[in-house]
Structure 1
Amino acid sequence: MESKMFAGHAVRRLRRGHALTQAAMAQALGISASYLNLIERNQRPLTATLLVALAERYGFDARTLAASEPGGGAEALRRRLADPMFADLALDRADIAEWLAGAPGGAEAFARAFDRLGSGGAGAPVTADPAAEARATIERWRNHFPDLDAQAEALADELRLAGGDPAAAMADRLRVRHHLSVRLLPVEAMPDRLHRTDLHARQLQLSERLDPASRSFALARALGHAEARGEVDAVVRGAGLSDRTAEQWLRRHLHGYFAAAVMMPYARFLRACEATGYDLALLGRRFGAGFEHVAHRLTTLNRVGARGLSFCLLRLDRAGQVSKRFAGASQSPLVEGAPCPLLGAFDAFARGGESIVQLVEPEEGGRWLTLSRTVTPPGALAGEVRARFVVMLGVAADQAGGLAAARGIDLSAPGMPVGPGCRACTRSDCPQRSAPPAGRAMRLDDREGGLTPFAFAGD
């Protein structure tokens, strides 16, 4: 069966870039003009056969599809339009689909402006959010950067040829090729740092607070700074971000991406995933990586011709504040908005180190299998604050049949109904509700009471 995708905006942009009419391009591709028109309006999929034809005839790079869906697609635009400032417009899914089909450039421009300037309601001061701007770039790439992956994979192969422990091989490469020695320092010498590059002393200094996996990650990151700077800078320049802080956010993510790709090179890691049923604990032991490192890596497996399962990731604290969110290629609604308190991720805090598996059904539709576990950043000593977060991975239930985490779970059973936080969720029958949705008037009646005191007017 052919792989299919909806990418009408990309086809339209390619056609216009070659100054072709629909009839001329359709004839070149061996299809009818009406069929091409339906493809451009996202009413027909772009099949693998057509993708090959576009590549052969027009040099179309399929990797650009990972970064080309305007505004992240219809669901991402719908979540932006759920902001209270748009409440009076009554836009529905059909309106958004028509907007994407008819004016994809306008939809992308709206998404970039909304992400860059922030929201907060009519009359609120407009402030930029550098982290959100960097994340928008990451999501346009579906958190997969093929050039970085290819270079990291080649580096990992060279390190394997060097033999011995991977961390020792990385330290040796830093010393021999980049004249940077690695030194492990006691807490007294680095009381408030986990790692530091001292260019004057030509040292990469690592704190003894770091566990072995975190030390390896720091070594791989240092190699990335030395050997992948050009590739990272190219992605950052191409993003066209508004200020230096946003660029630094993106650059930091890309160097972390490269480090993870060195520790878990793409082809070997994907084979191990498929062989183990994506068993995170086993993968961590096999590649010398921590749980969070492995979880991050699972969101990046989107190489053309060698894709893994499409995972999303959310990292949150006890208060529900989100510090990391990646949709990857999954386009999952679980990473948008505020995390729903009905997610099993919140149960994980009370069961430290245990994996919590849950089947959920977001308000936007679909069914997802989630796996949540607590993580603790390295470095806390006795008497110091020991931070704790939960990392939640999600994958579409129809892809989860072979997962180790799904054993014994009926993936066709109803899942827990969840939403994008009470202020954006329009489920009317949720007893966990803590506030009515934004833009909906509360419905108060002294003569009756429902499952929640926050009843609200319907559509």
Structure 2
Amino acid sequence: MTVQKLYAGVTLRETRTRLGLTQKAFAERLGVSLPYLNQMENNHRPISAAVVLRLAQEFGFDVTELTTGDAERIVSDMREALADPVFGAAVPPLADLRLAASNAPALARAFLNLHRAYRQTHERLASLDEALGRDGASLRPSPWEEVRDFFHYCDNYIDAVDLAAERLSQAWGPGGDPVAVVTDQLAARGIAVATGDEAAIRIYDPQTRRLTVSARVAEPTRRFQLLHQMALLTQNDLLEATLDLARFQTPEARGIAKIGLANYFAGAALMPYRAFLAAAQQERHDLERLADRFGASIEQVAHRLSTMQRPGLKGIPFFFVRVDQAGTITKRHSATRLQFARFGGGCPLWNVHRAFEMPGRFLRQLAETPDGVRYLSLARDVSKPGGSFTAPVRRYAIALGCEIAHAPQLVYADGLDLARGFQPIGISCRICERRDCHQRSVPPLERHLRVDPDRRGLLPYVIAE
């Protein structure tokens, strides 16, 4: 097996800058020569095991930060963008993409922003009525996509917000009821909390200082919505400071992000980091037991597990995704090497799409992506009734998974043969390199095709080597 060399010059340079050390002083602390450090910081040499060890010993550095983070995500996003036919057949090799992601991440993100703007302009022009109906349309990412990328590249972990939520949770303690505490704290601010039969899940009237939460929703949702409003009312300065650092391009993106940060605070308060991490390890990441323990929903627990990336106290790196019945990804995050399709549909062989067929059941899948990485994937439907016969049911499915090395720490791996039986899956057909997939919908954009009218196999064409 080929061992991939570790190039992390940008992270190494940022670490030195954060510590306020010169290259000479940093090299001495690491026990290497100045030229050697310079070569590592510029990705002319890989980071050796000895240097990784010294980083941990001298500075308490979480060495997993050298191999995770933006680089893998940027490479995956660039590969998918470059599969667009607009670039033709001149696709840069993978080594060049990794070099760009490591050495020039800002330039790589600028390229991705440019390609996103191109696609949105192309789609806008394809719909003439939309193009004519918009005055002053600009080449900007959609607010939703901009916010989703913000959380994606923050590793879905916002440290200051997480810590503030953890401090609030101390008011009710382990196993305590946050509803009573939050209600009392809001009452002390002159805000009355009530339940109502409105269609809206949560309504806050700043004039009457009255917060109404729908009685139709499940109890975990009520707790979550109370904590969400608590964040908006008591943590506004923190949320606004975080938004200032993000520098969103539009007021709409900033507004959506503020809702996302309040949601983050609510989940982190309902499931405080240290207590939740300890419980997850104790319960072997059993979603149902964790949901009962913290008064949360299955989806809330799965989402929270994907945020456990606090430096120095990291949990298992999970991927988390939520899809609707059309296969559209409505939530996505990955702390693993698995990345999700940004354009087009996902892989139909992934078990998350089968969850709608078997509601109320956990589906397990051993999966292998084209790069040879193996995963344990867990899927379940999380349909949400509207609370009355006439109300529509919102139907979603979620998937939570990790690389197979972490699988023994999950109760869902029990009884599975973790050495075999892996199903090949991809990201999307457009960039999947598998030649013999029976579910392929479109040919891969990076490969040539051979078409023989006198021969028909699984596909009406043959993908060339």
Q: Deviations over 1:385-432 (max 9, x none)?
A: 212110111211111112111110112214111112222222110011
The residue identity in structure 2 corresponding to 1:268 is: A
CA deviations on 1:100-147 (whole Å, 9 max, x unpaired) are: 3443442233234445x2526979755522112112211221011111
Q: Greater shift after overlay, 33-42 or 147-156?
A: 33-42
What is the RMSD of the two structures over their aligned residues, measured on CA atoms?
3.1
- Normalised by the size of structure 1, how large is the TM-score? 0.87
Instruction: Give the letter aligned to residue 183 of structure 1.
Output: A
Percent identity between the two aligned chains: 32
Aligned to 1:85: 86
Partner of 2:332: 325
User: Aligned with 1:349: secondary structure?
Assistant: helix
Structure 2 vs 1, CA of residues 364 and 133 (structure 1 numbering), >3 Å: closer, same or farther? Answer: farther
Q: What residue in structure 2 maps to residue 26 of structure 1?
A: 27
Q: Superposed, which structure 2 residues align to 1:20-99 within 5 Å?
A: 25-27=26-28, 29-36=30-37, 37-38=39-40, 40-41=42-43, 43-44=46-47, 47=52, 49-50=54-55, 53=58, 69=70, 72-99=73-100
TM-score, length basis structure 2: 0.86
**Change in 2 beyond 3 A, CA 1:263/1:377:** same
Structure 1 residues 231 and 67 mapped into 2: Cα distance closer, same or farther (>3 Å)?
farther
- The 3 A distance-change label for structure 1 pair 305 and 20 is closer
- Alpha-carbon displacement from aligned partner over 1:337-378 (angstroms, at most 9, x marks no partner): 532111111211111010001011112330111111001235
Distance 1:65 1:236 in 2: 26
Name the CA distance, whole Å, in 2 between partners of 1:164 and 1:20: 45
In 2, Cα distance between equivalents of 1:265 and 1:5? 33
Query: Shift in Å at residue 43 of structure 1?
Result: 2.0
Deviation at 1:54, TM superposition (A): 5.9
Q: Do the aligned residues in 2 keep the contact of 1:334 with 1:362 (CA within 8 Å)?
A: no
- 1:230 aligns with 237
Cα deviation, residue 44, structure 1: 1.7
Q: 1:169 to 1:15 in 2, by over 3 A?
A: closer
Unaligned runs of 5+ in 1: none
Q: Give 1:256 deviation, angstroms.
A: 0.5
How do residues 310-459 of structure 1 correspond to structure 2 at under 5 angstroms? 310-327=317-334, 329-334=335-340, 338-438=345-445, 440-458=447-465
Name the CA shift for 1:127/1:103 in 2 (closer, same or farther; >3 Å).
closer
1:79: how far off? Answer: 2.6
- Kindly tell me the number of residue pairs found equivalent between the two proteins: 443
| Pairwise CA distance, 1:52 | 6.1
Residue 195 of structure 1 aligns with an amino acid whose one-letter code is R
Change (3 A) 1:19 1:174: closer
SS of residue paired to 2:332: strand
Deviation at 1:64, TM superposition (A): 9.2
Alignment of 1:184-199 (within 5 A): 184-186=195-197, 190=198, 192-199=199-206
Aligned to 1:277, which of 276, 279, 284? Answer: 284
The residue type equivalent to 2:321 in the other structure is L
Post-superposition offset of 1:158:
1.4
Q: 2:227 aligns with which of 209, 220, 224?
A: 220
Give SS of 2:163's match: helix
Answer yes or no: is 1:149 the counterpart of 2:151: no
Task: State the distance in 1 between where 2:220 and 2:7 align.
Answer: 40
Does 1:119 find its partner at 2:122? no
Picking from 169, 174, 177, the partner of 1:165 is 177
Assess, with a 3 A threshold, how the Cα gap between structure 1 residues 102 and 250 changes in structure 2: closer, same or farther: same
Match of 2:134 in 1: none
